[in-house]
Amino acid sequence: MTKNILLCGVGGQGVLLAAKLMAFAAFHAGFRVFTNEIHGMAQRGGSVTASVRFGDGEVLAPLFAAGEADLLFAVEHAEALRNARSLKPGGAAVIARQSVIPTTVTTGAAVYPADMEDRIRRVFTRVVYAPCGEEAARLGNPKLANTILLGAAAAFLPEIPRAAWDRAMEALIRPDLIDLNRNAFEKGLAL
Amino acid sequence: MRLLSGNEAVALGALRAGVAAAFGYPGTPSTEVLETLAKIGGDSLCCEWSPNEKVALEAAAGASMAGARTLTTMKLVGLNVAADPLMTLSYLGVQGGMVVLVADDPGQHSSQTEQDTRHYARLAKVPILEPADAEEACAVMFRAFEISEKYRCPVIVRTTTCVSHSRCFVEEPEQMERKSVHFEKDVTRWIPIPLWGRKKRIHVEERMKLQADEASSDETWNKILPGNDCSFGIVSSGVTALYCRERFPDHPMLKLAWSFPFPDELLRRFADSADRIIVIEEGDPILEEHIKSLGIPCSGKDLVPRCGELTPDRIEEVKNRILGKDPVPPADIPEASDLPGRPPVLCAGCPHRALFYQLSRFRDIIVCGDIGCYSLGVFPPLNCTDTMLCMGGGFTVAHGIAKSGESRKTVGIVGDSTFFHSGITGLLDVVYNQGNSLLIVADNRSTAMTGHQDHPGTGVTLQGKTTSAASIETIAKACGMERVYVCDPFDADKMQSILKDELSRMDSPALLISRAPCPLHQKKRGIVRSVDPGLCKGCGACLKCGCPAIGTTDGRHPVIDPAACGGCTLCESICRFSAIRPVG
């Protein structure tokens, strides 16, 4: 068994922490795990992708080919479309209903599509598409958006038991924020 | 077990193998090696950011001559800078084990070239080891030090971006004791004047033969992985070998980590085990050409792309080519065909934006840039850089254009860390040879692009100790530069007046230090700005500075995102209608 997950978003949105949380959870579930992240220029507001692979002995390397992802985790919806090719037929996607407007748009060189929801619905069939930012604000901290999405992702990763997710959060998140994140994770699971 | 990146694993491996001194210059994708080592190494370890890679390698050579195990770290192009000492050090040899960690960047994720460091191993005639993942990156350090000490020569450990930045869970190795240190005087050993250098030249060739034999029998690092289908066998190295193993599990494979000096005996043995040999290597056809030179027919770059990262996507294409299958066209997703690009931009509040914005108001100048965050000044809407060559090249290329007979004023820009890396010699050149360029140091008090490392001008060492801070203005004056200005780029009036004066002068050079700290590094924000819709005329001028915190819904009227605004005041200084003001 091998699971391939592609995570994407914009630099500064927390994609790398989400990838780390997934990696820890998969590790605590007893799997062999690889992750990869794009560094360098991408930090400066560029598109960011990370990959997580876990499974038994067959997993040898951190990257996989287009059309091989079991799950797409997108914290920005234009980036979800940009990386839609990574998904295998029948693969699932969890996508935050969130627009981060690039400077190419503010300077008038490009247009940010207005029909994002229609596009997402057309391209992704097994999808959780949720306004995670608004949900997070309701929980008291907009930064919980990714944890909500992570909960949604967990629903598509039944190989990882809930206890492993908890251990991952305990390892990587500040103790005083654990309860808030647990709540956010629950919220995402229920989406 | 710990989840480590390849870079972190190299640091852990080096530390556990008893490294005593480490030197380097930041460069993606290598930077985190030394940062990690400084964090985990403790006070008894010497861990230094050097002004440049040449200095780093020379310092490491000295420590190794004295018997210490040493590590030097750099990105691919850093080895160009450090190549001079490496070539001679190969002849001199070392006493304590010396590892030169070079991180290559196939696909040019953050590099100007895609050079293959394996060429340098051949040129310097030193062993090279290529770990494939973090687990191997940690373990390979022990082997690299061992080889270095056995043959008394430096060893290159080559990672690639994917190896440096991928993570897996790594078992922590036992701590080895450090070597005792005592510099043994021996002029015939440490001085390569021709009398002794010629003997060394012969020794180096003999050493390579012995190393090739040992590499052939090193079953830990150069292994034949079995496969039932012997219609073809694959030779590969680094992370590419892992992709190939996943995608060709039934074929025998020679997975090389100690790839040079070429393990000829092993290559011959493997060639006998399969009907056909296919070399799948990232970068240049180095293994392929060598295997062919042994008289072994093989395929390679006729099937495998030469340029770019060999990602699993491209290995799949190679697979189709090998199996004679038609290529699979990428899925057509019309919904993704017109998405706006998201190029990297200068951050909100970045002082470089202010400098470039001021500079962009002048026509008929030629701006020679350099390597760093400020490389982004080339992109619209700033459009403010005309050339970029290499570290330090900002000053010297400007000088060369000025001396060519070109009549327009030239401006050379380097960052503060780049100034100390290799900008000083360029400045000296401009002064000494009576150039007339305006030289600018975009001084944000940090090596920002690679993640805010300290440098000789910050007054802090890699291990967090306070030290003397070199003064750019004092250095410039000592070099004979007569007009030296220091100006905060957010002081728009002062900046404009200096630029106006200096850009119209063609008689002599000047230095302008555009100084304001990187707000990301300082973790300080100014007072957030907002737009007064009553005063805003929708002229769009503020949108032209390309700040990611300024958005617009209609292409004319700005909206400032309070969460993103750095409070830098640039947009406020641009607005002619006083419509942008501090919040509150």
CA distance B3 to A20: 9
Sheet of B222-225, strand order: B222-225, B253-256, B233-237, B277-279
Residues of chain B with pLDDT > 70: what percent? 100
Interchain pair B345, A103: CB under 8 A: yes
Average pLDDT estimate for B386-408 = 98
pLDDT category at B19 given cuts 50, 70, 90 is very high
pLDDT for the residue A41: 56
CA B481/CA B16 separation, integer angstroms: 48
Per the structure, how many domains does chain A have?
Answer: 1
**pLDDT mean across residues, chain B:** 96
Kindly determine whether residue B338 and residue A111, on different chains, have CB atoms separated by under 8 Å.
yes
Looking at the complex, does the CB of residue A179 fall below 8 Å from at least one CB of chain B? no
Size of interface A-B (CB pairs under 8 A): 158
- B495: burial class by Cβ within 10 Å (0-12, 13-18, 19+)? buried
Q: B137-146: per-residue pLDDT in tens?
A: 999 999 999 9
Answer whether A34 sits within 8 Å of B110, measured CB to CB. Answer: no
pLDDT in tens, B514-541: 999 999 888 888 899 999 999 999 999 9
Q: Domain residue spans in chain B?
A: 2-217, 222-323, 351-522, 529-582
Distance from CA of B533 to the nearest CA of A (A): 17
- Do residues B37 and B22 make contact, with C-beta atoms less than 8 angstroms apart? yes
Task: Quick: pLDDT tens for B110-159.
Answer: 999 999 999 999 999 999 999 999 999 999 999 999 999 999 999 999 99
Residues B212-221 have pLDDT tens digits of: 999 999 999 9
Q: What is the mean pLDDT of residues B6-22?
A: 98
Average pLDDT over residues A81-93: 96
Cα–Cα distance for residue pair B321/B75, rounded to 1 Å: 33
Q: What is the pLDDT of residue A43?
A: 60
Q: Is the ipTM of this complex over 0.90?
A: yes
Interchain contact, A35 vs B312, CB within 8 Å: no
Cβ contact B331–A66 (<8 Å): yes
Closest to A51 (Cα-Cα) out of A85, A27, A13, A15: A15
**Residue from A48, A51, A95, A107 whose CB has the most chain B CBs within 10 Å, to mutate:** A107
Partners of B368 in the beta sheet?
A: B387, B412
Q: What is the pLDDT of residue B299?
A: 98
In this prediction, residue B281 has a pLDDT band, given cuts at 50, 70 and 90, of: very high
Architecture of domain B222-323: 3-Layer(aba) Sandwich (3.40)
User: Under CATH, what is the fold of the domain B2-217?
Assistant: Rossmann fold (3.40.50)
Confidence class for position B329, pLDDT limits 50, 70, 90 = confident
- Report the run of H or E that residue B474 belongs to, with start and end: helix B472-478
Question: What stretches of B111-186 show up as alpha helix (H) in DSSP?
Answer: 118-124, 134-151, 161-165
Residue B168's nearest CA partner among A19, A68, A11 is A19
* Contact criterion met (CB below 8 Å) for A94 and A74: yes
Per-residue pLDDT reduced to its tens digit, B453-480: 999 999 999 999 999 999 999 999 999 9
HEC string of B203-271? Answer: HHHHHHHHHHHHHHHCCCCEEEECCCCCCCEEEEEHHHHHHHHHHCCCCCEEEECEEECCCHHHHHHHH
Strand bridging mode B529-531 / B580-582: antiparallel
Bond into B131 cis (ω within 30): no
Closest residue, chain B, to A113 (C-alpha):
B339
Tens digits of residue pLDDT in B219-261: 999 999 999 999 999 999 999 999 999 999 999 999 999 999 9
pLDDT band at residue B46 under the 50/70/90 scheme? very high
- The pLDDT of residue B6 is 98
B425, B472, B512 from B420: Cα distances, Å: 9, 8, 15
- Among A27-36, B190-199, B548-557, the least confident range: B548-557
The parent domain of residue A125 ranges over 2-189
Interface probe for B, chosen from A8, A106, A117, A119 (most Cβ of B below 10 Å), is: A106
A55 touches chain B (CB under 8 A): no
- Phi, psi (degrees; rounded to nearest 5) at A72: -110, 130
What is the per-residue pLDDT for A39? 56
| Domains B2-217 and B529-582 agree in fold | no
pLDDT in tens, B334-390: 999 999 998 888 999 999 999 999 999 999 999 999 999 999 999 888 999 999 999
| Residue range A98-117: mean pLDDT, rounded | 88
User: Chain A neighbours among B 294-353 (CB < 8 Å)?
Assistant: 311-313, 315-316, 330-331, 333, 335-336, 338-347
Give the whole-angstrom CA distance, residue B486 versus residue B515: 7
pLDDT reported for residue B95: 98
Q: Measured between beta carbons, which residues in chain A are less than 8 angstroms from residue B381?
A: 107
Across all residues in chain A, what is the average pLDDT?
Answer: 93
Sorting pLDDT into bands at 50, 70 and 90, what band is B330?
confident
- Asked if residues B218 and B210 have their Cβ atoms less than 8 Å apart, the reply is no
What kind of fold does domain B529-582 have according to CATH?
Alpha-Beta Plaits (3.30.70)
pLDDT at position A44 is 64
Restricting to A residues 130-169, those with a Cβ less than 8 Å away from any Cβ of B are none
Please say if the pLDDT value at position B178 is more than 90.
Answer: yes
Is residue B510 predicted with pLDDT exceeding 90? yes
Give the span between the Cα atoms of B311 and A65, in whole angstroms.
Answer: 7
- A131's CB contacts (< 8 A; 6+ apart) are A96, A97, A98
**What is the per-residue pLDDT for A106?**
78
Record: contact B376-A44, CB cut-off 8 A: yes
What is the per-residue pLDDT for A57? Answer: 81
pLDDT at position A23 is 97
Tell the CATH topology of B351-522: Rossmann fold (3.40.50)
